[in-house]
Amino acid sequence: MQFLLLGLCVAVTAAQTLDCGRAFPQAGISRNYNETIAHAIHAMTVTGLKIFNPKATAVNYVPTVNQDLNQPETVLAHAPEVPLGNDFSTLTMNIVPIGRQWNVSLTCSICGTSVRESASPEVEKNPPSDDVCICLASTDVNGIKRAVGWVADHYKTGTPITLLNRPIPKLADAASWAVWKDRLLHYYTPEALRDAAMYLHCMSKFW
């Protein structure tokens, strides 16, 4: 663990000397990468991270929203471990902590699965350079952590998700799940999914 922490500290220091503003567009990362990545990871859990790398632990350096919004620390330094449910037949649904900010986590669960299925294969074929990964891992510097904080502040005053202002069925079976998934995926463009895949690929190097 100390080795991983040292590696991340070195990465943060290195990011301050790299030209990340030039490295990101050259790697195909979008201009609003901090927002797209923050939206993808803000309710991530260790179980969700294991979709990308089974080595993920509670020490993962992926900043997330503290689901207890009454706490002064609104952004956690690591995606937390959340007990896996067994109410549903699929891993994606059981990752969601039903009953506690479940709609937020459902959004991120769907996003995580979509990233893994649609964007990660291409990123794995053409992985980002070490310099790009250093820049992405430095969330205190690159604005990702700040964007996660913005999400946390938003949940104190706003509604976490809207489903295109259309009637939405109660989530109870495969048919209703298909409707939910289709509506939620509206919010994730190919560029946003690629940003998230690049970030999670890089962060997995520290797990």
DSSP 67-109: S-TTSS--EESSPPP-----SSSSHHHHTS-TTSSHHHHHHHH
Between residues 199 and 157, the one the model is more confident about: 199
Query: Which pTM was predicted?
Result: 0.77
Instruction: Note the pLDDT of residue 56.
Output: 95
Instruction: Note the pLDDT of residue 153.
Output: 84
pLDDT exceeds cutoff 60 at 51? yes
| Percentage with pLDDT > 70 across the chain | 65
Instruction: Note the pLDDT of residue 98.
Output: 44
Alpha carbon distances (Å) from 165 to 49, 107, 161: 30, 16, 10
pLDDT exceeds cutoff 90 at 162? no
Average pLDDT for 80-94: 60
pLDDT exceeds cutoff 50 at 99? no
